[in-house]
Amino acid sequence: MNHQEEYMDIHKELLPYAVVHLFFIELEQKGDVKSYCNGANATGRWIFQIFNREFVEELAQVINRALGKRRKNPPVLEVMSGDGRLIEFLKPLIKRRCIATDSKDGRYNIGYPKWVETLDAMTAVEKYSPAFIIMCWEPYLSTVGIDIVKTKVPTAWIGNPNMCGHTDIFEQPHIPMQSKYALSRHDYFLARNFKTDIFFFNCKPEWIHS
């Protein structure tokens, strides 16, 4: 594809891992991964974690196990959700109300939809008392994730441990998913050098690897 043409939006719909991986190999060969992820694509979308069907399904499976069969109905809450695409992909797979929130702090040129509630992460946790929290690509050196996992609510933290949030979060007990399907803007796709994972806090091992 030449640079006059627009690249498709890889998050327009939830595509299989193999398709998404191949798409990024081709972008990498053209040296376009960074610009693509910074909005040089058909919808101007910013992309941090690169979602695909297998990745979303394995995350949904853990969340559903954590929710169990309890009658109480606290929601699943995504904080720092950006454009809310992850929760949109998860919603059909999760049998619980799902809420997306973000402070919309203006540091990134993310297209925030109105339905993503403008809310600081800790305020959102206090407001919704969620059964499960999702956090994807917490900004570098932010310590909010540490405060969140200390609330003891089951949490999925997604990202590159060296470039997202604060490394002290890993002093809290956690279980890595060791996902084969985690793709991100920091990866080397052809070399299969992948930098991200899902890290579960306040979760039982049998929810993750059973």
Query: Judged by CB under 6 A, how many residues of this single chain contact ligand SAM?
Result: 19
CB of 187 to ligand SAM, least distance (A): 14
| Interface with ligand SAM (CB under 6 A), residue from 139, 151, 176, 197 | 139
Q: Does 38 bind ligand SAM (CB under 6 A)?
A: no
Tell me: does residue 52 bind ligand SAM (CB under 6 A): no
Provide DSSP, 150-188. TTT--EEEEE-TTTSS-GGGGGS-EEE---SS-EETT-B
Residue whose C-alpha is closest to residue 78's, from 53, 56, 106: 56
* From candidates 62, 66, 87, 144, binder to ligand SAM by CB under 6 A: 144
Q: Of 18-26, 66-74, 100-108, 174-182, which segment contacts ligand SAM by CB under 6 A?
A: 100-108
**Length of the chain, please?**
210
Q: Are 181 and 54 in contact (CB under 8 A)?
A: yes
Shortest reach from residue 68's CB to ligand SAM, in Å:
26
**Contact between 104 and ligand SAM (CB under 6 A)?**
yes
Q: Is residue 208 a contact point for ligand SAM (CB under 6 A)?
A: no
**Residue 10 touches ligand SAM, criterion: CB under 6 A:** no
- Distance in Å, CB of 85 to ligand SAM, minimum: 7
Shortest distance, position 31 Cβ to ligand SAM, whole Å: 22
Please tell me whether residue 121 binds ligand SAM under the rule CB under 6 A.
yes
Q: 3-class SS at 143?
A: coil
Name beta bridge partners: 101: 117
Give, as one character, the DSSP assignment of residue 93: G
Q: Which residue is nearest to ligand SAM (CB)?
A: 82
How many CB atoms within 10 Å of residue 175?
Answer: 17
- Does residue 145 contact residue 139 with C-beta atoms inside 8 Å? no
According to the binding rule CB under 6 A, does residue 120 interact with ligand SAM? yes
* Residue 50 CA: distances (Å) to CA of 11, 28, 83, 89, 152: 8, 14, 13, 12, 27
- Chain contacts with ligand SAM (rule: CB under 6 A): 48-49, 79-82, 102-105, 108, 110, 120-121, 136-137, 139, 142, 144
